């Protein structure tokens, strides 16, 4: 473990906490490889280097520490921000990338792959102690903690965070939350939590829902999750997908992406849903739609992508075939009822990296990556090309927060549609795709109600 002393906020231990600084060279090589597929973010970085829109800003980010995130962190730093980074999932950190950011860029990183619950929250604490004026979340863990502090709900904080907050004076706690001018959120689950906070009237600062940009969820959630989830499952199991029956829980952006890729690999895909519109779309896209209780006895592989709790419950697991495999690619490890499984089944027995065997009713079930995001735990997360657009949104959202903080209400906002479209335009340009433009006659026709009928 490397402990590099840095200057942090009051009460902070002010260190980096990463696995091994000697991994930095490998992290740098892999981050450079990702950068080749991130032309939009690269252009933003070049502009940030010239214009320095984030000068003097302290930014705390809680994101999956991957090669793509490294490119984002360096972009934010190029814009003038003082960046601290912690992991948004205990299993998603790429230790070589963490080392590279510390060694080559002096970015404060608090993340170790496989960290336990206490260490995960100690790292969140360290990011909070950075006393950021902009926070960047993937799952709202930083913002969630800041709100528990603001609302004095210290019992709802994880112990490492709570103990630290208890050492702060009331004025210090107020300054910690009050110092945040705005925040950005990467994923569906985080945005759902933030909208709930706004609805309850407790949101303390404006938040930009990056996930709501079209250049984010149409591509990252669908094509990114679709491909990387399959990649994670295959790397973890070496399963032959062709001919297998794959049950996809949730037909939102992630679910439809994964269903498409599983079908492409030859699986017989079944879909479960709770939303009639999504269920109908799945049916007309050619999938069989059924209830989980009906899918349970026939599936070979079950994958949850709902952002909801207890989607696969013990009663479903009892009905599954011997040898069924369960994986999750939704944000939190709550979609498969692992607590229920622990109480009911024998195990776990680790049979392979990321694969645990449980015995229930004389049958074996295999749970991948402790029910955590399989694409980040067992594979490398989304391809850089798709994260290019997600993180272009993040970088522009940070700039937007700085520009507009005083005008934005304490609510959940989208980045302006023009910026979203600009990202799409730059992405097309970078991939050498030209599209048509409206002729004057077309523009006039589209703006009128009485022409050419």
Candidate segments 119-127, 302-310, 413-421, 427-435, binder of ligand NAD by CB under 6 A: 302-310
Residues 106-125 that bind ligand NAD (CB under 6 A): none
* From candidates 48, 164, 253, 400, binder to ligand NAD by CB under 6 A: 253
Least distance in angstroms from the C-beta of 80 to ligand NAD = 29
Contact with ligand NAD (CB under 6 A): which of 2, 237, 375, 394?
375
Smallest separation (angstroms) from ligand NAD to the CB of 125: 23
In the complex, which residue's CB is closest to ligand NAD? 252
Q: Is 225 in the site for ligand NAD (CB under 6 A)?
A: yes
Convert 153-178 to b/e letters by CB count within 10 Å (16 or more is b). Answer: eeeebbebbbebbeebeeeebeebbe
Nearest residue to 222 via CA among 139, 305, 292, 278: 305
Q: Closer CB to ligand NAD, residue 206 or residue 250?
A: 250
| List 311, 325, 327, 345, residue binding ligand NAD (CB under 6 A) | 311
Q: Under a CB-based contact definition with an 8 Å cutoff, are residues 378 and 93 in contact? A: no
Cα(156)–Cα(11) distance, rounded to whole angstroms?
A: 20
Pairwise CA distance, residues 82 & 394, whole Å: 16
Give the one residue of 252, 299, 348, 371 binding ligand NAD; rule: CB under 6 A: 252
Contact between 363 and 321 under an 8 Å Cβ cutoff? The reply is: yes
249 binds ligand NAD (CB under 6 A): yes
Which has the closest alpha carbon to 62: 161, 165, 154, 156? 161
Residue pointed to by tokens 């102690």? 129
Which is closer to ligand NAD, CB of 183 or CB of 221? Answer: 221
Give the number of residues in contact with ligand NAD, rule: CB under 6 A. 28
Contacts of 363 (CB under 8 A, 6+ apart): 320, 321, 322, 323, 324
Residue (225 or 385) nearer to ligand NAD, CB: 225
Query: According to CB under 6 A, which residues from 177 to 206 bind ligand NAD?
Result: 187-189
Binding to ligand NAD by residue 368, rule CB under 6 A? Answer: no
Site membership for ligand NAD, residue 127 (CB under 6 A): no
State the minimum distance, in angstroms, from the CB of residue 43 to ligand NAD: 24
CA 336 from chain centre, in angstroms, equals 18
Rounded to whole angstroms, how far apart are CA atoms 106 and 340? Answer: 43
CA distances from residue 85 to 16, 22, 41, 314 in whole angstroms, order as listed: 9, 19, 18, 37
Q: In the set 173, 278, 321, 359, which binds ligand NAD (CB under 6 A)?
A: 278
Comparison of 291 and 425: residue with beta carbon closer to ligand NAD: 291
Burial of residue 107 (CB within 10 Å: 0-12, 13-18, 19+) is buried
Going by C-alpha positions, the residue among 84, 70, 78, 83 that lies closest to residue 51 is 78
Q: How far is the CB of 56 from ligand NAD (least distance, A)?
A: 32
Can you state the angle between helices 67-78 and 39-51, rounded to 10 degrees? 20
Cβ proximity to ligand NAD: between 265 and 405 the closer is: 265
315 makes contact with ligand NAD (CB under 6 A)? no
Closest distance of CB 217 from ligand NAD, Å: 6
Among 16, 306, 333, 394, binds ligand NAD (CB under 6 A): 306
The DSSP-derived string for 341-396 is: HHHHSEEEEEEETTEEEEEETTEEEEEEGGGS-HHHHTS--S-HHHHHHHHHHHHH
User: Residue 231 belongs to what H/E stretch?
Assistant: helix 225-237
* Residue 11 · residue 29 · CB < 8 Å: no
Chosen residue from 48, 121, 251, 391 binding ligand NAD by CB under 6 A: 251
Give how far Cα 96 sits from Cα of 61, 115, 229, 235, 379, Å.
Answer: 18, 15, 22, 19, 15
Distance between first and last Cα of the chain: 71
Name the segment binding ligand NAD (CB under 6 A); options: 151-159, 200-208, 281-289, 328-336: 328-336
**Residue from 69, 71, 135, 221 binding ligand NAD (CB under 6 A):** 221
334 near ligand NAD (CB under 6 A): no
CB closer to ligand NAD, 104 vs 370: 370
**Site for ligand NAD (CB under 6 A): which residue of 250, 299, 348, 371?**
250
Of the candidates 44, 373, 392, 398, which one interacts with ligand NAD according to CB under 6 A? 373
For residue 91, state whether it binds ligand NAD (rule: CB under 6 A). no
Site stretch for ligand NAD (CB under 6 A), options 17-25, 148-156, 250-258, 413-421? 250-258
What tokens were used for 81? 């921000």
Per CB under 6 A, residues contacting ligand NAD are 187-189, 217, 221, 225, 249-255, 272-275, 278, 305-308, 311, 329-331, 373, 375
């Amino acid at each position: 473990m490397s402990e590099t002393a840095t200057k942090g906020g009051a009460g902070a231990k002010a260190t980096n906490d990463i696995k091994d600084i000697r991994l930095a060279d490998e992290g740098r090589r892999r981050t450079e490889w990702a950068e080749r597929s991130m032309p939009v973010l690269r252009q933003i970085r070049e502009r940030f280097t010239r214009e320095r829109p984030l000068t003097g800003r302290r930014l705390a980010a809680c994101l999956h520490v991957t090669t793509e995130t490294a490119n984002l962190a360096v972009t934010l730093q190029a814009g003038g921000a003082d960046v601290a980074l912690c992991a948004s999932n205990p299993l998603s950190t790429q230790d070589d990338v963490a080392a590279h950011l510390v060694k080559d860029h002096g970015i404060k990183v608090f993340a170790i792959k496989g960290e336990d619950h206490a260490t995960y929250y100690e790292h969140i604490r360290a990011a909070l102690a950075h006393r950021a004026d902009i926070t960047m979340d993937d799952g709202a863990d930083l913002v969630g903690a800041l709100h528990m502090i603001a609302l004095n709900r210290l019992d709802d904080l994880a112990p490492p965070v709570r103990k630290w907050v208890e050492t702060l004076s009331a004025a210090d706690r107020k300054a910690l939350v009050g110092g945040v001018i705005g925040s950005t959120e990467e994923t569906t689950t985080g945005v759902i939590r933030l909208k709930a906070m706004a609805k309850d009237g407790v949101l303390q600062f404006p938040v930009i829902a990056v996930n709501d940009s079209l250049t984010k969820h149409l591509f990252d959630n669908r094509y990114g999750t679709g491909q990387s989830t399959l990649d994670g499952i295959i790397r973890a199991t070496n399963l032959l997908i062709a001919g297998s029956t794959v049950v996809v829980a949730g037909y939102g952006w992630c679910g439809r992406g994964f269903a498409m890729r599983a079908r492409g690999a030859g699986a017989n895909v079944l879909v479960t849903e709770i939303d009639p519109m999504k269920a109908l779309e799945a049916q007309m896209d050619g999938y069989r739609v059924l209830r989980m209780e009906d899918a349970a006895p026939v599936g070979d592989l079950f994958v949850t992508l709902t952002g909801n709790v207890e989607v696969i419950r013990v009663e479903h697991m009892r009905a599954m075939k011997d040898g069924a495999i369960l994986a999750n690619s939704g944000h939190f490890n709550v979609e498969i009822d692992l607590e229920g499984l622990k109480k009911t089944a024998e195990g776990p027995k680790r049979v392979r990296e990321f694969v645990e065997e449980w015995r229930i009713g004389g049958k074996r079930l295999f749970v991948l990556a402790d029910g955590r995001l399989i694409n980040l735990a067992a594979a490398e997360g989304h391809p850089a090309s798709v994260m290019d657009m997600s993180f272009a949104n993040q970088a522009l959202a940070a700039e937007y927060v700085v520009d507009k903080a005083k005008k934005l209400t304490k609510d959940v906002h989208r980045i302006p549609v023009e910026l979203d479209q600009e990202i799409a335009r730059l992405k097309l340009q970078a991939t050498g795709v030209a599209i048509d433009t409206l002729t004057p006659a077309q523009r006039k026709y589209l703006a009128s109600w009485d022409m050419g009928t």
